[in-house]
Amino acid sequence: MQKTKRHERNNERFAVDLIPILDIAFANKCGQILFEQFKSSNKQPLYEELPTFWRIASEVVKEYYPRIRRNFLTVSSTNKFGNYETIDIPKFLEYVYNYDYISSSEICRISQKNAIIIKDKLTSVKLKYEENIRKIPRANDNFANELERLINKKLVLDFERFLKQKINNSGEFDERMIVPCFRDFIKENYNDTWKLIYSDRDDEYEMQLFWNNLFSADYSNKFHFTEQNLIKLSTKLNQIKQQVLSYIKDEIKKSEQKEELEKQVKLKDISRDIINGLSKKGYHGITRSQLIAFLIETGIPESSLTELYNINIWVDFINDKLGFSKSVKLNQRKPLPTGIRYEVFKRDNYKCVICGRGPPEVTLHVDHIIPVSKGGKDTLDNLRTLCDECNLNKKDLIQ
């Protein structure tokens, strides 16, 4: 029985010897081997070329702990796809780390207790290894270092002018323009630096992702930067972005203020002629159609108004200047004050001056003898009492 049990756990001795060496010193040895490999190759790797932790950890065991290595016995096991495979040291470490302790102990032929301990220790060592791997120089680090070196006050001023020209050409501005414009700016003005960029696919979409990643410092996208270089460059680029954004907003504000000032100067000249003309004709308020008719009559081009503001805005503006009450409909005149109405009724003995009838037989109105549209005023000598029937029958003529 004991013999069978020992046979089932034929890597138990390896596990027992492995547990005490999985510490910070082991993690540092992993980092040392990793750096030596790329130092000797004299190249900056792509992300996918970086070795896995399991492979590096296995090399540490082989190089620094040969006695422990001799205790490991390879076994064959069925993987999660139902295929048989040979379990070597890298797979042993990977399975203990990734599988639950029951599965890993069955596959790797160790006790569940040791599987739990090794998994816990591997977690700490792997985290330290990942810290080291993020320090390995990458394929785009030369570009990052060169671009960071170029960033100075002159570059920012040149980019501000470049972006302003783009805005002038397109006639609009959106904050999202800054990143693609900066990309174009570097490509056009610093081509030697641009050529240092490594990309898996040199297409528009890939470049868009690449530059968005630079500004966002999103290390998860793996655009072949060391994390430290990506963060440093991203910080500087976002400082440029905020500085340029502030500059552009100031320029837009100045432009809008200048444009508004020019409108106001034209507005005063045009509105003065219109308001004076309408006042002379006795208007207290106008509609859109009345304003257009007045413009045609006086020979003022409608475009001279609409190039400044919408025609409806002009109607509101002119009505405010004429003292028009918004509680009254636009096709109505300003109502007569109650005191004047009473004086007219009293003077005409509360009877229609045409038919002689009065209340309660008819309803009385105060009528302009010379209509307002013909220049009539709201004075007692131009006002008279009419009944509703006579008032409706009279025409808009000077009688």
138 and 46 Cβ atoms separated by less than 8 Å: yes
Q: What pLDDT is recorded for position 384?
A: 92
Return the domain boundaries, the chain.
2-133, 141-255, 258-321, 338-393
Q: Which pairing describes strands 84-87 and 364-368: parallel, antiparallel, or unpaired?
A: unpaired
Instruction: Say how far apart CA 26 and CA 106 lie, in whole Å.
Output: 26
DSSP-derived secondary structure for 83-145: -EEEE-HHHHHHHHHHS-HHHHHHHHT--HHHHHHHHHHHHHHHHHHHHHHTTS--TTHHHHH
Q: What pLDDT is recorded for position 338?
A: 60
Q: What pLDDT is recorded for position 7?
A: 45
- Angle, alpha carbons 262-263-265 (nearest 5°): 65
φ/ψ (deg, to 5) at 383 = -115, 150
Q: Which pairing describes strands 75-78 and 84-87: parallel, antiparallel, or unpaired?
A: antiparallel
Cα-atom radius of gyration of the chain, to the nearest Å?
Answer: 44
Tokens at 134, concatenated: 């993020």
Residues of the chain scoring pLDDT < 50: 1-7, 325-331, 396-399
Query: Across the strands, what pairs with 386?
Result: 365
φ/ψ (deg, to 5) at 86 = -85, 130
φ/ψ (deg, to 5) at 85 = -150, 160
Q: What pLDDT is recorded for position 115?
A: 93
Instruction: Say how far apart CA 282 and CA 101 lie, in whole Å.
Output: 97
Q: Which residue has the tokens 């793996």?
A: 222
Q: What pLDDT is recorded for position 237?
A: 93
Instruction: Say how far apart CA 197 and CA 187 lie, in whole Å.
Output: 11
Q: What pLDDT is recorded for position 396?
A: 43
Q: What pLDDT is recorded for position 6?
A: 44
Q: What pLDDT is recorded for position 200?
A: 66
Handedness of CA 194, 196, 201, 202 (dihedral sign): positive
Q: What pLDDT is recorded for position 333?
A: 59
Query: Across the strands, what pairs with 384?
Result: 367
